[in-house]
Amino acid sequence: MRRQDVWFVAAEAGGMKSIKVVAAIIRRGGEVLATQRGYGEFKDWWEFPGGKVESGETPEAALEREISEELEAAIRVIRPVTDVSYDYETFHLDMRCFLCELVGDGLTLLEHESAAWLDAATLGSVKWLPADIQVVETIREQGIV
């Protein structure tokens, strides 16, 4: 089994549910796309779009599927950016983040209540989900925006 495959094996760690997801850092010029959750415990918080990896999917294929389902958009995955591990109160999150670009111009919000293109000056202007704060820091360190 490749290391990449091991990362996505579902696990229970210390009785806490562990969730494995992928996220897209979609870059357009000097900006990245942030989406605002429209549901659940973290409604109104901001995140990088993405979701869970289904059985048999590569992380890249899962990300392309999730972005199609959430934003009715096609993306091209460019490269991995960072992996984040974060303990929320009720679950452990492992998130693999990829730099991506849109294929075409349009996107439609199907699951989020809002979206924004953020540059270096506005990247900190939204209320990021706790795990996504680490991604924002990495984006700044790597000069992605």
Is residue 49 within 8 Å of 33, Cβ to Cβ? yes
User: Each residue of 30-85: pLDDT tens digit?
Assistant: 999 999 998 888 999 999 999 999 989 999 999 999 999 999 999 999 999 999 99
Element (H, E) at 62: helix 59-71
CATH number, position 38: 3.90.79.10
Question: What is the C-alpha radius of gyration for the chain, rounded to an integer number of angstroms?
Answer: 15
Write the CA distances from 10 to 54, 74, 95, integer angstroms. 11, 27, 13
On whether the CB atoms of residues 28 and 101 are closer than 8 A, the answer is yes
56: left (phi over 0), alpha (psi -120 to 50) or beta: left
Tokens 């992928």, residue located: 22
What is the C-alpha separation between 123 and 118, in angstroms, rounded? 5
Count of domains observed in the chain: 1
The answer to whether 73 touches 50, Cβ cutoff 8 Å, is: no
Amino acid, res. 123: L
- Alpha-carbon gap, residue 99 to 25, rounded angstroms: 5
Residues 22 and 97: beta-carbon distance below 8 Å: yes
Q: What is the pTM of this model?
A: 0.88
pLDDT for the residue 14: 58
Domain around 130? 3-142
Judge whether 98 and 81 are in contact, CB under 8 Å: yes
Quick: pLDDT tens for 6-21: 344 444 445 689 999 9
